[in-house]
Structure formats: C-alpha cells, structure tokens
Amino acid sequence: MEIKNPDIKVNINEKPAYSYPIFIGDNLLENAQQYISKYSNANKLLVITNETIINLYPNALKLDNAEFLILKDGEQYKNFETYKQILDKALDMKLERKDAFVAFGGGVIGDITGFCAATYLRGVDFIQIPTTLLAQVDSSVGGKVAINTDYGKNLIGAFYQPKLVLADISTLKTLDNRQFKTGLAEVVKYAFIEKTAMCNFNFFEFMGSNVNAIKNRELDVLKDMIKICCEIKAKVVNIDEQEKGLRAILNFGHTYAHAIEKVTNYTHFTHGEAVAIGMRFALDLAKLRKTITDEYYNASINLLSKYALTYLLPASISQDELMQAMMFDKKVVDKKIRFVLPTEKGKVIITSDIEVKNIR
Ligand SMILES: NC(=O)c1ccc[n+]([C@@H]2O[C@H](COP(=O)([O-])OP(=O)(O)OC[C@H]3O[C@@H](n4cnc5c(N)ncnc54)[C@H](O)[C@@H]3O)[C@@H](O)[C@H]2O)c1
C-alpha cells in the first residue's frame, strides 16, 4: 500500500528535528504496520492499551514485531504503579533505544504511554493511535505527557512529541454518547480560539452549521472537523511548545473546569463536561466585564446548547471550595488566577487581572 501524504505536519519552531505527521482517516488501523515502519525504525513495539479497547478491537495492531500490555480502564490507573508496570514490561522485553512505545487508546493511555516513552532509556520513539474524540483532537497532539499523583492530576510529566499520530476515525463509532460529547467540548473550544491561534477556518460557523452530521458521526464531516482542530493545535504548538505564552489559549474554559473536577473528586463530571461548564463561565465573566458583545455572547451560548454542552453544578459545591481550588491550580502565578477570556469571535485574551468579586 502506498502511504499518502500526511493530513497535517506538526513542526516545532524551536526544534526543527521534531516534525511529525498526523494521519486522519477511516482505514488506518488495518494499515498501521506500513505507517509505523515508514516513520519509525523500531525493531520491537510495545503496544499499551486497555481492557475496553482490546475487547472492541481484538485484532487491531496484531503486528509481527508487537507485544501488548493491557491495562485496567480508568483515569485512576494513570499513576506511578502503572508507570512502573509499563517500564518493567519494556525492560523485560529488552526494548532498545530504537524501539517504540505505541499508545492505543484515549487520553489516559496516550498520556501515560508518552511519559514512559519519554523516560525509558532517556527517550524512545512514541506512536499515538488515539481512539477517543478527545484524544484525536487534543491529547494525542502537542506532546504533553503525564501521570497523576495523590497531589493532583498531571503533575509529573514531560513535553515529548510523538513520531507519528494515526487517528482512525472509524474507532469513534464505538464511543459511547457521553464520551463522544466530552470530546465535542474540546472541539467547540477551538471555535472560540482559532483566530488568536492565527487560523481562519471559520470553525465557529462550521460547528454551527454541521450539528446533525456531527452528532450522527458522519465520517466525512468528522474527518474535516478533526483535521481543523489538529491544524489549530499544531499551529499553537509550533509557536509555543512549552506553554510559555500562546499555548495557554488551549486552556480556554479550563481554569474553572479544573476547579470543578477537583472539588467533585474527578468523579462527577468527565473532563469535557467540566470544560463545557468552564467555557460558559469564561463567557459569563467576559460579559460581566463587558469585553464581549451581547450578540457574540448569545451566539456562543447557542453554540454550546446546540451540542447540549450545558450542565448544572451539584448544589453541594460551595463558592469557597471553587475559589480555593482555583487558587491552588498549578497555573496560578503570584496568587493570581489566570483566565482565558473571549473578546470577539474566535479570539481570546489571557489575563490574570480579574477581581475576586467578579470571579465570585
Ligand atoms: N496530553 C494532553 O495534551 C491532554 C489534553 C487533554 C486531556 N488529556 C488527558 O486525557 C485524559 C482523558 O482522555 P479521554 O477523554 O480520551 O479519556 P479515556 O482515555 O479515559 O477514555 C474514555 C473512555 O473511553 C474508552 N474508549 C477509548 N476508546 C474507545 C473507543 N474507540 N470505543 C469505545 N470506548 C473507547 C476508554 O476505555 C475509557 O473508558 C485525561 O487523563 C486528561 O488528563 C491530556
């Protein structure tokens, strides 16, 4: 099979050697061997996946040179114990420097596998085969890899770019509705930031006019949608890989989202649901400060509603708890809470200049 040109090439401005391709399509899994051999010289592959995915795709990635490690399913396994389990397996297989780790799953699998690849023998090839919408539009691109600790989420990690991303969109057919919608929250996020990311896909309009096709998971529309998201993320990461400035715009909605996730112990909402609430919060804050027009505010709320990305906080959560959680976020600098706020369609600003009374 002849390998076509990548759908996207991610380049890192400061590290020209770190360019890598993203392929987005619906027959990638069955041709994975060809893609992997083209972009990696690995003799052996260690494929990390979980019980859910392997049950759904038992024949996927049965490659000549691959061994599998099948993890339990869940965010709670993105931890030190699993990190050790994966590295022990790699050591047991005697993986060498030119060999590769393959992440076959959602963001949990991608994050922990990437962190193992970044640290095993001080770094070996890492291949991302994302299977959730969230992972295809967000976590598999851009090189943030991490594990959780008792002190919080993603506190131990690295910036470590993959060699190759294979986003097989046919895997999205088996995602349950809640997980698909969770991914859509991160998708809609790109509509709010694309112009600040110096892109111009009119993604706000794209999302507004393809609601039914997207909800029905029509593959051609999903492919266009995922490609635009990856283009926007690639553009941001190209300019600012290590979040020293611009990359923070990818956190639109996330300041409040992280607080909600924390006070609800990461159990009540999925990450995307919390981000949807956080985007609404950012819109409300911008409206309160009169930095967006009523017209854009209403259009934005309407876009969130079209995808039913509207949620209520449990009544048991107090304002104080949320304020405290925001104050202890890893992105707080000099006790100032940082927000990404909308200014006009597709544009946001990063600001730490919000009065506590407004946040409350
Ligand atoms: N690295 C980054 O830049 C970045 C960005 C955003 C989120 N994240 C991380 O990503 C994680 C969340 O990722 P996620 O939302 O993909 O969650 P996840 O990996 O837990 O996957 C969600 C659920 O879907 C299942 N699943 C995966 N693929 C499936 C498929 N094709 N069909 C049916 N079920 C499938 C999984 O087994 C799991 O039960 C969090 O740990 C978060 O911190 C990382």
278's CB contacts (< 8 A; 6+ apart) are: 253, 254, 255, 256, 257, 258, 260
Say which residue the tokens 């709670």 belong to: 76
Structure tokens that stand for 13 in this block: 């401005």
Residue 119's pLDDT band (cuts 50, 70, 90) = very high
DSSP symbols for 112-175? HHHHHHHHGGG--EEEEEE-SHHIIIIITSS-EEEEEETTEEEEEEEE---SEEEEEGGGGGGS
CA atoms 332, 337, 341, 347: torsion sign? negative
Q: What is the pLDDT of residue 358?
A: 85
Name which residue sits closest to atom 10 of ligand 1, judged by CA. Answer: 107
Name which residue sits closest to atom 4 of ligand 1, judged by CA. Answer: 139
Q: 205, 33, 31, 57: which is closest to 131 by C-alpha?
A: 57
- Specify the pTM: 0.96
Q: How far is the CA of 307 from the centre of ligand 1 (A)?
A: 19
Say which residue the tokens 């854009």 belong to: 296
Tens of pLDDT, residue by residue over 51-96, are 999 999 999 999 989 999 999 999 999 999 999 999 999 999 999 9
Tens of pLDDT, residue by residue over 92-110, are 999 999 999 999 999 999 9
Structure tokens that stand for 214 in this block: 């997207």
**Is pLDDT at 290 greater than 90 in this prediction?**
yes
Q: Answer for the pair 222, 24: CB distance below 8 angstroms, yes or no.
A: no
**Is pLDDT at 182 greater than 90 in this prediction?**
yes
Residue 13's pLDDT band (cuts 50, 70, 90) = confident
Name which residue sits closest to atom 9 of ligand 1, judged by CA. Answer: 107
* Atom of ligand 1 lying closest to residue 146 CA: 1
Pocket of ligand 1 (CB under 6 A): 50, 52-53, 56, 73, 75, 78, 105-109, 111, 131-132, 134-135, 138-139, 142, 144, 153-154, 171, 174-175, 179, 182, 271
**Is pLDDT at 335 greater than 80 in this prediction?**
no
- Residues found in the chain: 360
Question: Three-class SS of residue 257?
Answer: helix
**Is pLDDT at 308 greater than 90 in this prediction?**
yes
pLDDT exceeding 70 applies to what percent of the chain?
A: 100
C-alpha pair distances (Å), 254 with each of 103, 112, 137, 238, 250: 25, 21, 16, 21, 8
**Is pLDDT at 14 greater than 90 in this prediction?**
no
Structure tokens that stand for 321 in this block: 């708890």
Q: 50, 273, 237: which is closest to 160 by C-alpha?
A: 237
Q: How far is the CA of 113 from the centre of ligand 1 (A)?
A: 13
Residue 17's pLDDT band (cuts 50, 70, 90) = confident
Q: Work out the average pLDDT over 282-293.
A: 95
Q: What is the pLDDT of residue 98?
A: 96
* Atom of ligand 1 lying closest to residue 141 CA: 3
Q: How far is the CA of 277 from the centre of ligand 1 (A)?
A: 19
Name which residue sits closest to atom 22 of ligand 1, judged by CA. Answer: 106
Lowest mean pLDDT among 26-30, 36-40, 261-265, 354-358: 354-358
- The catalytic residues are 122, 144, 186, 233, 243, 247, 251, 254, 258, 271
* Residue 293: half-sphere exposure toward Cβ, Cα within 13 Å: 6
Question: In which element (H, E) is residue 28 found?
Answer: none
What is the chain's mean pLDDT, rounded? 95
Q: How far is the CA of 41 from the centre of ligand 1 (A)?
A: 28
Tens of pLDDT, residue by residue over 144-161, are 999 999 888 899 999 999
The alpha carbon torsion through 55, 58, 272, 81 (nearest 10 deg) reads 80
Residue to probe by mutation, ligand 1, list 71, 115, 271, 273, most atoms within 8 Å of CB = 271
Q: 35, 41, 357, 320: which is closest to 164 by C-alpha?
A: 35
Q: How far is the CA of 186 from the centre of ligand 1 (A)?
A: 12
Q: How far is the CA of 212 from the centre of ligand 1 (A)?
A: 24
Residue to probe by mutation, ligand 1, list 75, 111, 155, 232, most atoms within 8 Å of CB = 111
Q: What is the pLDDT of residue 357?
A: 85
Q: What is the pLDDT of residue 115?
A: 98
